[in-house]
Structure 1
């Protein structure tokens, strides 16, 4: 461009000299040369624009190819870790009802798992789309059940967790450090190693983690209080580990941040909201989602489960984190809920 501009400037100077000396023929020659130079400049701009378009197209194509490689397909195996928890059982049932995936559930007690999904376990052939298959395993250690459940799984949803403050839920080593940090890391490592080109391995596509609001704001009030037992520190460590693993191994991640959980089911008797059955379902059915960790509010367990299941399929939730909370208002339909992830408000605009 600089060379072309220099040529044009040079021809203008020569044109001025020609006009001063009244050399008509030379003037015409200079004008012709000037027009040719301008034409060349325009061609240069067109070529440059074309190159930019080709570069942009290549970038979009690469992005689409990456998205296609991690897009879940009909019949893919999805493993839900913590499938008998209050949120986990809702996620497991929701995935099975979608009829697209073969669902596996990891729980510490097969007896409890079979009680949760008794009818569903018998309704579909094992490992077929819409089916549920249970495995007994513990995230806090290496064990055959966990590894078997993760072998061949294209996606994983982790719904495990413990209370923020010391309660009976911490008994047996169920502390935030062991459950929310080391347990999640163990699931990630086992999933990766179980599918490292061995028998029955699958391509790693998506890892969805149920975390919490306030993880990135744990030094601020009121989250500094919530973090006195270290629960937000533990979740933050697991989130960072997940993002690093996803970048290194080429799979997508999604971090879902619900607020204080409320609403049924009420099987876990260690949470205050569960003990008192602080069920605001009637008035708090409207859903708000936004990327990052800026919103405040409470979240229905059913809404959390829907967000975790929906995040598996949406391109908008690839490699991102978002808060989901409920507010007073009419219920949000499934179509409206999916549309929220495509709206400017989801991206904080």
Structure 2
């Protein structure tokens, strides 16, 4: 699979577990990569000056248009924890007594959290979609298994603080945008996260799950999903025209073949 020298992929969430691996896959295939980041020094160190860096924040719509110049594809790997944690960036930092209040008061939680699922997976994705160039070739979004099964275990527990609700709002914004898109819904992420500052390690990353890849549709899959395979799916789908305007689930099951045939997996998704 080859790419055009004009291809320029904007990766949001590039310093996260899946995002780092996506960048490694894109570079290995010779695509131009631009990173959208709040921390340019961290991104520069992580990717050894092999990517363009755009300073921006999907939660702040005004910071996004400048990052879109000449972008042909967007891969969005952003996300936060499903349950309240330090990654939600509460302002100010809650005391141990305040944590109890935050857990039981949704309005207080949203007013104090800068990095909640609603602000990242819903509004942040909505902002990114609105800023995308109208001639974009593909918008790839990492969502989650279970967005259509929020009333069923274990997804009802996972959605206790609204992460699947937020992912679904992001999906809806993408699907309604008129842009060509591919949505990848992984199961519970394993293999990582990779917070390496060694790009060579990312380029050589191998799955530790030793399981095959299963691609499905209709939100029927469940199970673990290797971050490495999720990253590969995000990159491989942009080379397969038939994956446009499609939503896929991904999990790791069965015996792993020596070669992952992504085109076959996408074109013949499992119905189980």
Q: TM-score normalised by the shorter chain: which range applies?
A: 0.7 to 0.9
Higher relative contact order (CA 8 A, sep 6+): 2
Q: Relative to 1, partners in 2 of residues 1:302 and 1:283: Cα closer, same or farther, differing over 3 Å?
A: closer
Q: Aligned partners of 2:121 and 2:234: how far apart in 1?
A: 17
Query: Residue 175 of structure 1 aligns with which residue?
Result: 116
Matched, 1:107 2:26: no
Residue in 2 aligned with 1:348?
Answer: 271
Question: What are the residue-to-residue correspondences of 1:43-82 with 2, within 5 Å?
Answer: 73-82=4-13
1:154-182 C-alpha deviation (Å, 9 max, x unpaired): 21110000111111111141100000000
The aligned counterpart of 1:211 is 143
State the Cα deviation string for residues 14-48 of structure 1 (Å, max 9, x = none): xxxxxxxxxxxxxxxxxxxxxxxxxxxxxxxxxxx
Q: Please state how far the C-alpha of 1:347 moved relative to its aligned partner.
A: 5.6
Q: Is 1:134 aligned with 2:64?
A: no
Give the match's secondary structure for 1:254.
Answer: strand
Q: How many residues align?
A: 238
CA deviations 1:69-128 (Å, max 9, x no partner) are xxx8542221111111111011011111101x321111110111011101x52xxxxxxx
Greater C-alpha radius of gyration: 1
Other structure's SS at 1:84 match: coil
71, 78, 83: which is aligned to 2:14? Answer: 83
2:230–2:250 CA contact under 8 A, matched in 1: yes
CA contact (8 A) 2:191 2:209 kept: no
3-state SS in 2 of match to 1:294? coil
Structure with the largest fraction of strand: 2
Q: Which residue of 2 aligns with 1:23?
A: none
Match of 1:215, SS? coil
Shift of 1:240: 0.9
Counterpart secondary structure, 1:220 = coil
Inter-CA distance 325–102: structure 2 relative to 1 (3 Å threshold): same
Q: How is 1:289-328 mapped onto 2 (pairs within 5 angstroms)?
A: 289-328=215-254
Unaligned runs of 5+ in 1: 1-71, 122-131, 197-202, 269-279
Q: Residue 79 of structure 1 contacts residue 104 of structure 1 at CA under 8 Å; is this kept in 2?
A: yes
- The CA deviation at 1:267 is 3.1
The verdict on how the C-alpha distance between 1:324 and 1:116 changes in structure 2, with shifts beyond 3 A counting, is same
Alignment check: 8 A CA contact 1:287 1:337 kept: no
1:165 aligns with 83
Is residue 330 of structure 1 aligned with residue 253 of structure 2? no
**More helix, by proportion:** 1
Contact 1:283 1:329 in 2 (8 A): no
SS at match of 1:207: strand
Change (3 A) 1:283 1:176: closer
Q: Is 1:260 matched with 2:188? A: yes
Alpha-carbon separation, structure 2, partners of 1:115 and 1:74: 25
- Shift in Å at residue 332 of structure 1? 5.0
Question: CA RMSD of the aligned region, Å?
Answer: 2.1
CA drift at 1:315: 2.0
What do residues 285-329 of structure 1 show as CA deviations (whole Å, max 9, x unaligned)? 311111221111111110110011111111231111011111242
1:11-50 equivalences under 5 Å are none
Q: Secondary structure at the match of 2:242?
A: helix
Inter-partner Cα distance in structure 2 for 1:283 and 1:175: 30
- 1:149 pairs, out of 45, 51, 67, with 67
Q: CA deviation at 1:282?
A: 4.1
Cα distance in 2 for partners of 1:331, 1:267 equals 27
Normalised by the size of structure 1, how large is the TM-score?
0.64
Structure 2 CA distance for aligned equivalents of residues 311 and 330 of structure 1? 20
Return the alpha-carbon distance in structure 2 between the equivalents of residues 283 and 236 of structure 1: 28
Deviation at residue 281 of structure 1 after TM alignment: 4.5
